[in-house]
Structure 1
Amino acid sequence: MKWRVMVEVTGEEGAVTQHVISEGKRTGAGQAATLGLSLSEGKATLAGLQRVLVMAQADAHCRLRRRCGHCGASRPLKDHRSRRLVSLFGTVEVRAPRFKPCRCGVACRRSLTPVAEIMPDRCTPEYERILSGMGSALPYRRARALLAELLPLDAAPDVETVRRRTLQVGARLERAALVPPDEGSSAPATAITLAIDAGHVKSIKTYQVRSFEVMLARVGNDQGREVVFSSLPTEADRQVRQLHHVLRRLGATATTPVTILSDGAEGPRSLGAAASVGPIRNVLDWFHLSMRVQHVAQAVKGWATAVPDAAERTTMLDDAVTRLRWRLWHGQTERALTLIGDLLTDLDAALEAADDPPARKVAALLRALETYVVGQADLIIDYAAARHRGEAISTATTESTVQRLLHRRMGANQQMRWSPRGAHRMLKVRTAVMNGTLAADHAAAEPYARRPFRRAA
């Protein structure tokens, strides 16, 4: 069996041309390996179709631009050159004629290269978007190998090309994030929850610090919409305004209450407060508070294992820690502090009688918990009642966001270090991929691309 794939192109004037894209034959019958197209044949077919379409579109644009827009005469031909366009379906080399200025001298007084107008960056925007998306999701070498395996590229892009394209798209997304949303683009929200936390990325050695901090937030409204926001404070361009625009796109108004969930640190909490447009309510994340109580419970269990003679005392202490967790869960801060004080009094008396390292560790953790509860007392709420009302009480989803955005691509488990600027731009692309808006954001950021040509008149 023989087969041939042909394409028919109809021009603006109605002229029809036919082109053979690919052809082949099958000799074996009844074999699964010969059914349909193989990967190499599919790549050749796509590459041939892309070549015919690009050349036809380039020729049509050149004919259109050759005619002077003022007098209607044809511009004189200066010379012919070639220009290459890299796309997802192969590299196409087309003829790029250059035209002299029209003799009327009104519309354009310099040479004109029409192909450069439609191929400003010598690659398609879709190629750039896919390259940046793959480069943000996978290590650059792995992304390069995957693209070469599946797409009909003549030559896989270099690792440096993948890196450079990814960071260029990230820089454009950073500028586009400063554009305010359109008025009335989203319905007003009744309530908004802003869960914000910080992560850390290993720094390059020349930056003279071990790691730097990254702000990550997960913003959701009462309509079920959620948006992930990431920013590196030292490199972000007006990060408060960017987060403010995220809130506006989710329907935040001057009367929309915003609940800010944080671990109590001043940096994330102040960022959320500065970006909010309506009344705010700061809430201490239950996850961080519960983990501090858990550290005390684990120290008590370690004490019981190390000193079997103190089993009765550690059992009573374990019950007291359970009551302490219950009081904090119900927002009873004063009663929780009273219980911590009573436990510390008993432990101090026991330590005066005999020095016990496990007991000293429990006392140190209790004092740290007491200091934390006193400092965050205004942010502790009745978590049980809030959970019953269906309100958010934890930044657990934000912790998972930190894992997905930072640790899977930029985390401590991988032997890689980042500059602040590179990490910030990479996060911009990864955040757009996670939100599912990379295609729309990339198109919106196109005006901020620095193209290597000046658009013709």
Structure 2
Amino acid sequence: MKIRIQFIIDSEDRSSTEDIACLEREELTAETLGLTLQETKAITSEIQKKMIDHQITDFVSHNRFCSCCGTILSIKGYHPLVYRTLFGKICLKSPRLFTCKCQSQGPSSFSPLAHILTERLSPELSYLETKWASLMSYGMTVKLLEEVLPLETYSSSVFYNLQKISTRLEEELQEEKPMFIEGCQREWNQLSRPDTPITVSLDGGYVHAREGKNCKAGWFEVIVGKSMQEGHESKRFGYVTNYETKPKRKLYEMLQNQGLQMNQDITFITDGGDTVRDLPLYLSPRSEHVLDWFHVTMRITVLKQMAKGVMGKGYSDFENNLDRAKWFLWHGNTFQALDILESLSFDLDAFSEDKEHKKHKLCRVVSEFYEYINLNSSFIPNYSERYHHGEAVSSALAESTVNEIISRRMTKKQQMRWTQKGAHLLLQVRTKTLNNEIRHSFRRWYPKMDKNCDCSLPLAA
């Protein structure tokens, strides 16, 4: 059995038919049923070439006339124009036309095709490269694209395309403001009934740094957050601490995409670090700020483990005092908890100057924990009461977000070193992809991108 695939062009003035491929099938087996991947690549690549060739010919023929007097324009010459698509790289023959004599101003010649194709990468290929590179390494993205599509690309091309798209997303952000609360109580009362409350968890992670040729430049901090709302899709955001210039704007935009209203309840759960403590302030008049209980109890656990090896016979009393402080913190009594921590710090103060003593480090950690609780005392609620009412007390959600946004792509299996700029730009595209928003951005930039997405074909007569 022979199967012929033809390419038919129907236009206003002419109709043409060209052969694309001829497939042969003999005995039916699992391997010969339908099209193979290689056959699909060859067919789609050939269709793409012929389709683009006819489109370019039709475009040039309709744009070879002067827009003022209608005179046909002379061709000065041709120059090659390389355009990369989903189905291969196409080398176009772009004509350069002389400007009509009736137009005295402007250049003497122009290229209509170069004016239309300002970018040398098709939007669909740019979208796929950006989306896949945000989910896996640049090398794996190249291998996957070349495996399923009839094209040839390079890791550097994918990298620069992702940076260009991310920079474009960053340029769309409006200016940073210290306060995003607008209106007054009377205006907020007139708003429609708000949706379910929003819970936002904020946390930080660390990424291996690279500075120039120095591949061992330590670490830098990345802040990530996740917004949860019952009945709605989660939203994420992230940025590099020392690189981002609009952190509050970025968080506010995420909440706006979640549908935040000024009369809506919202809870921010943070780890109490310096980089995130002030971030959610002045974003909503009905916001509540809670110190993450996980980070509190984690520090207490570390203190117990340190004391077990250095306190000796006094470990039992030390552990009991820590448990009492933990109980007071769980019930929101920061005054009593700080009093116990201050007493423990005072007992260990004698070893603060002797760096050789094994209790010196424990003394320092107890003092740091005291300062941590003291600085975040206004964000410590009655955790017990919140827990029994089904309200969030821990940012375990944010811990999973750190793993989802940072670890899976930038650390763990991906043993890579990052510049702050490279990591920051990747985070913007990755969060957009995880939020299912990257396609919407491309549709906004290229309105006709999905215009012909309906693949239903009319039945043959």
Give the TM bin, normalised by the shorter chain.
0.7 to 0.9
Deviation at 1:138, TM superposition (A): 2.2
Q: Partners in 1 of 2:248 and 2:99 — Cα distance?
A: 49
Gaps of 5+ in 2: 177-181, 183-191, 352-356, 448-461
Matched, 1:332 2:350: no
Give percent identity, aligned residues only: 29
Q: What residue number does 2:238 align with?
A: 230
Q: Are residues 364 and 210 of structure 1, via their aligned partners in 2, closer, same or farther at CA, if it must alter by over 3 Å?
A: closer
What corresponds to 2:173 in structure 1?
177
Separation in structure 1 between the aligned mates of residue 412 and residue 362 of structure 2, nearest angstrom:
30
Deviates more, 1:107-116 or 1:190-199: 107-116
2:299 to 285, 288, 292: 292
In structure 2, do the counterparts of structure 1 residues 321 and 224 end up closer, same or farther at CA, with 3 Å as the change threshold? farther
CA shift digits 1:389-443 (9 cap, x unpaired): 4433222222222222222222266443222222211211112112111122244
Distance 1:42 1:320, change over 3 A: same
Contact 2:208 2:418 in 1 (8 A): yes
- DSSP 3-state at the match of 2:121: coil
Deviation at 1:291, TM superposition (A): 0.7
Question: What TM-score, normalized by structure 1, do the two folds share?
Answer: 0.80
One of 254, 260, 272 as aligned partner of 1:264: 272
Please state whether the residue corresponding to 2:280 is helix, strand or coil. helix
**CA–CA distance in 1 between the matches of 2:226 and 2:414?**
25
Structure 1 residue 124: Cα displacement: 0.2
Deviates more, 1:206-215 or 1:280-289: 206-215
Contact 2:175 2:249 in 1 (8 A): no
Distance 1:50 1:130 in 2: 17
1:82-130 CA-partner distances (Å, limit 9, x unpaired): 4332111112233322222234338976423222233222220111121
SS state at 2:387 partner: helix
Shift of 1:62: 1.5
**Structure 2 partner of 1:76:** 74
1:204-219 alignment to 2 at 5 Å?
204-206=210-212, 210-219=218-227
Paired residues of 1:261 and 1:282 also in contact (CA < 8 A): yes
User: Any conservation in 2 of the 1:188–1:251 contact (CA below 8 Å)?
Assistant: no
> Given the alignment of the two structures, is residue 158 of structure 1 paired with residue 154 of structure 2, yes or no?
yes
Q: Alpha carbons of 1:278 and 1:70: their partners in 2 closer, same or farther (altered >3 Å)?
A: farther
Residue 35 of structure 1 pairs with residue 29 of structure 2:
no
> Kindly tell me: are residues 14 and 291 of structure 1, through their superposed partners in 2, closer, same or farther at Cα, counting changes over 3 Å?
farther
Decide whether the 8 Å contact of 2:204 with 2:222 is kept in 1: yes
- The residue correspondences of 1:27-426 to structure 2 (distance < 5 A) are 27=26, 29-105=27-103, 110-153=108-151, 156-178=152-174, 189=195, 191-206=197-212, 210-221=218-229, 224-273=232-281, 276-299=283-306, 324-337=325-338, 368-411=368-411, 414-426=414-426
SS at match of 1:94: strand
Q: Is the 8 Å Cα contact of residues 272 and 372 (structure 2) preserved in structure 1?
A: no
- Aligned residue for 2:260, secondary structure, equals coil
- Provide the rounded CA distance (Å) in 2 between the counterparts of 1:212 and 1:231: 11
Give the corresponding residue for 2:6: 6
Q: Could you say what secondary structure the match of 1:32 adopts?
A: coil
CA distance in 2, matches of 1:445, 1:109: 29
CA distance in 2, matches of 1:96, 1:240: 47
Aligned residue number for residue 432 of structure 1: 432
2:109 is matched by which residue type in structure 1? S
Deviation at 1:244, TM superposition (A): 2.6
Which range moves more in the overlay, 42-51 or 395-404? 395-404
Measured at CA, do residues 237 and 20 of structure 1 come closer, stay the same or move farther in structure 2, by a change above 3 Å? farther
Aligned partners of 1:249, 1:278: CA distance in 2, in Å?
A: 18
SS in 1 for 2:125: helix
Matching residue's letter, 1:195: S
- The residue type equivalent to 1:86 in the other structure is R
* Distance in structure 2 (CA, Å) of the matches to 1:338 and 1:265: 22
Distance 1:245 1:207 in 2: 36
Change (3 A) 1:226 1:360: same
In 1, Cα distance between the equivalents of 2:279 and 2:223? Answer: 9
Judge conservation of contact 2:137–2:414 (CA < 8 Å) in 1.
Answer: no
- CA-based RMSD of the aligned residues comes to 3.6
Q: Indicate whether 1:25 and 2:24 are aligned.
A: yes
* C-alpha distance in 1 between matches for 2:233 and 2:416: 34
Deviation of the 1:382 alpha carbon:
1.6
TM-superposition CA deviations, 1:138-163 (whole Å, max 9, x none): 2222221221111111xx21222122
**Any conservation in 1 of the 2:194–2:263 contact (CA below 8 Å)?**
no
Distance 1:273 1:53 in 2: 55
Q: What displacement does 1:380 show? A: 1.0
- Judging changes above 3 Å, is the alpha-carbon distance between structure 1 residues 318 and 109 closer, same or farther for their aligned structure 2 residues? closer
Amino acid across the alignment from 2:288: R
Q: What amino acid does structure 2 have at the position aligned with 1:84?
A: V
Whether the aligned pair in 2 keeps the contact of 1:187 and 1:251 (CA below 8 Å) is: no
How far residue 43 of structure 1 moved from its aligned partner, in angstroms, is 0.5
- TM value normalised by structure 2: 0.79
Q: CA deviation at 1:237?
A: 4.3
Offset, 1:45: 1.1
- Return closer, same or farther for 1:243/1:343 CA change in 2, 3 Å cut-off: closer
Separation in 1, partners of 2:368, 2:110: 72
Distance 1:320 1:135 in 2: 51
Looking at secondary structure, tell me which structure has more helix per residue.
1
Report Cα offsets for 1:50-90 as digits up to 9, x if no partner: 11222222222222222333333332333334433211111
Rate the CA distance shift 1:359–1:423 in 2: closer, same or farther, 3 A.
Answer: closer
CA distance in 2: counterparts of 1:220 and 1:361, whole angstroms = 39
Distance 1:320 1:167, change over 3 A: same
- Tell me the amino acid that sits aligned with residue 73 of structure 1: T
Counterpart residue type for residue 84 of structure 2: V
Alpha-carbon distance between aligned partners in 1 of 2:162 and 2:7, rounded to the nearest angstrom:
34
**Relative contact order higher in (CA < 8 Å, ≥ 6 apart):** 1
1:362-396 per-position Cα deviation (integer Å, ceiling 9, x unaligned): 77655554443333222111223223444332222
The 1:33/1:222 distance shift into structure 2, 3 A limit, reads closer
Distance change in 2, residues 1:31/1:108 (3 Å): same
SS at match of 2:242: coil
